[in-house]
Amino acid sequence: MATSNARAGITGDERMVIFASSLGTVFEWYDFFVYGTLAPFVNKAFFSGLDPTAGYIATLLVFAAGFFVRPFGALVFGRLGDMIGRKYTFLVTIVIMGLSTAVIGVIPTYAQIGIAAPIVLILLRVLQGLALGGEYGGAATYVAEHSPQNKRGAFTSWIQTTATLGLFLSLVIILAIKGMVTKEAFEDVWGWWRAPFILSILLLIISVWIRLSMNESPAFKRMKEEGKTSKAPLTESFTRWGNLKFVLLALFGLTAGQGVVWYSGQFYALIFLTTTLKVDASTAQWMIATALVLGTPFFVVFGTLSDKIGRKWIILGGMLLACLTYSMIFHGLARAGNPELYDAQEKTHIVVKADPSTCAFQANPVAREADFRSSCDIAKRALITGFSANYDNEAAPAGTPATVTVGDKTITAPDAQLAAGPAYKFDEASTKAIAAFKKDLGAALKEAGYPSKAKPIETFDSRWMTIVGLLWILMIYVTMVYGPIAAMLVELFPTRIRYTSMSLPYHIGNGWFGGLLPSFCFAISVQTGNIYNALLYPIIVAGVSLVIGAIFVRETKDTDIYAGD
């Protein structure tokens, strides 16, 4: 087979394969991420029947739903891709994704159609997750099966740029629209925030037009002509130990660690800047976008390098660097992003004294604020989410309410009760008690030097340059773990079940281990009383993958993916 031979150069047809596959996947990631970026406006339009906090949590849960269903999309579309072909399967996924996203932009509001609004939103978000679950494996497999053996890492690394470019595209388009209209015009329930969703129709038309001109992958075409396609790819992939062991190694030795490094370096970094450090959202988005532009070429750099020295140790090297340096990097982001907050954390001793049996581990990604009604939970959530305050934990006698001591001031946190009826929220007395507690706590923290928000950061000043530099380092780790991984996953599995076998561990690693990262990071911060301890989650997951990958995962660089179809 010509494509399996090592050779120099790249043909025009190969350029088209890479361009078409990558462009379509960029648009799919754009569709997926634009929802997360516009979550506050989605909340206002479709969850106005809930109080603001519950509505925002519901909006984020709908975002999380897209992550949860990605592995199921991998199973559905992976099976189709191994049975009927790569080209048509990932053509279907982009149509589903593009139409789902565009429809989100025209859903009537909760005020207009009631509960039907969030129900339609949830269904569309599930369709997005299913489509993305099928897209990546198809695009990566398609490009890899068109690649010469000595350039497979370089060719597939272009697919790896697509998630970052999709996030970048969503940020740039949203910021551009914000800059062209008034704040009121953008934020109205029928405002311009809907435009990035509707724009998906144009992106969909471009993608479908390009992909219709593409040919089926040569490896699958040959296998189909020889009658070797799998009749039961799910059975072959996941019930036969000879292949299942590689699925498990791909998950725990590669994609779980890769997923948490990816989400830490791009998604959680943005959450940390805006939510924890309280940096202006537009400023943080532009800094992230700058780091993405500076870092994206390194996907191809490390993908190409993996063709020369191997994939395994570049991926594991990125995990190792992340484990060793995350704490220093995020402390650096805090010092530059909100120095007043950082100083207050260093100087002020805060103690939460509570009955340990009343303190929950708040990692449930589908939980609502009203699920945490004890005085301990209320106190800790207020400190972390409202003020980004670090604190020490002390045990109190059983049955006593939690207290927060800030310097020489002690504030008692209330327990809360639910209101009667179907509305899942605190009753009026509890709501007032919580508000009074937060007011007193805020006054004590303000006196201790805790700022309400970060001071403005001017473009290209020393703080801006420091933050962008640190974000760029995080991006380098992302490119190390992500750039070569498509080629490595393709090379682990035979052609007849490749689409199915590689898609599932990829989407569990990224959709679940990576997608749950914000929830676990928040829970660890609340549990331990330290915003930097949130990094324990990605460090531990990446560390486990590092050990398993180093010991059990083989190097795949010289694998002939056409042998043993």
Domains and CATH numbers, the chain: 11-337+457-552 (1.20.1250.20), 343-447 (no CATH)
Exposure string (b/e) for 283-298, b if CB count within 10 Å is 16 or more? bbbbbbbbbbeebbeb
For residue 58, give the nearest of 459, 371, 400 by alpha carbon. 371
Average pLDDT over residues 164-186: 90
What pLDDT does residue 531 have?
Answer: 96
Which DSSP string do the residues of 423-457 spell out, in sequence order?
Answer: --SB-HHHHHHHHHHHHHHHHHHHHTT--SSPPP-
3-state secondary structure of 53: helix
* Higher per-residue confidence, 6 vs 168: 168
Per-residue model confidence as pLDDT tens digits over 16-71: 888 878 877 787 778 777 887 787 788 788 877 665 655 656 666 677 777 788 89
Name the pLDDT band for 1 (thresholds 50, 70, 90): very low
What pLDDT does residue 328 have?
Answer: 98
Average pLDDT over residues 414-422: 86
Average pLDDT over residues 433-459: 96
Block residue for tokens 């309280």: 278
User: pLDDT at residue 14 above 80?
Assistant: no
Exposure string (b/e) for 491-511, b if CB count within 10 Å is 16 or more? bbbbbbbbbbbbbbbbbbbbb
Instruction: Tell me how far apart the alpha carbons of residues 46 and 118 are, in angstroms, rounded to a whole number.
Output: 6
Contact 71, 507 (CB under 8 A): yes
3-state SS, one letter per residue, for 452-485? CCCCCCCCCCHHHHHHHHHHHHHHHHHHHHHCCH
Instruction: Tell me how far apart the alpha carbons of residues 259 and 71 are, in angstroms, rounded to a whole number.
Output: 14
Element at 411 (helix H, strand E) = strand 409-412
Give the pair of three-digit tokens for residue 460.
């290209």
Other beta carbons within 10 Å of 53: 15
Tell me the pairing of strands 392-395 and 403-406.
unpaired
What pLDDT does residue 137 have?
Answer: 82
Give the pair of three-digit tokens for residue 250.
């791909």
Name the pLDDT band for 149 (thresholds 50, 70, 90): confident
Name the pLDDT band for 9 (thresholds 50, 70, 90): low
* Higher per-residue confidence, 115 vs 8: 115
Q: Using CA of residue 396, residue 397, residue 398, residue 404, what is the dihedral sign?
A: negative
Name the pLDDT band for 455 (thresholds 50, 70, 90): very high
What pLDDT does residue 475 have?
Answer: 96
Instruction: Tell me how far apart the alpha carbons of residues 440 and 430 are, in angstroms, rounded to a whole number.
Output: 15
Instruction: Give the best-scoring range by mean pLDDT among 229-238, 303-312, 555-564.
Output: 303-312
What pLDDT does residue 252 have?
Answer: 98
Task: Please state, in angstroms and as integers, the Cα–Cα distance from residue 342 to each residue in 218, 330, 410, following that order.
Answer: 56, 11, 22
Per-residue model confidence as pLDDT tens digits over 235-293: 999 999 999 999 999 999 999 999 999 999 988 999 899 989 999 988 998 999 899 99
For residue 5, give the nearest of 218, 230, 181 by alpha carbon. 218
For residue 353, give the nearest of 331, 332, 383, 323 by alpha carbon. 383
Instruction: Tell me how far apart the alpha carbons of residues 552 and 250 are, in angstroms, rounded to a whole number.
Output: 10
Give the pair of three-digit tokens for residue 324.
């060793």
What pLDDT does residue 225 have?
Answer: 82
Name the pLDDT band for 3 (thresholds 50, 70, 90): very low
Contact 94, 211 (CB under 8 A): yes
Give the pair of three-digit tokens for residue 302.
């490390």
Instruction: Tell me how far apart the alpha carbons of residues 471 and 291 are, in angstroms, rounded to a whole number.
Output: 6
Average pLDDT over the chain, rounded to an integer: 89
Average pLDDT over residues 393-415: 96
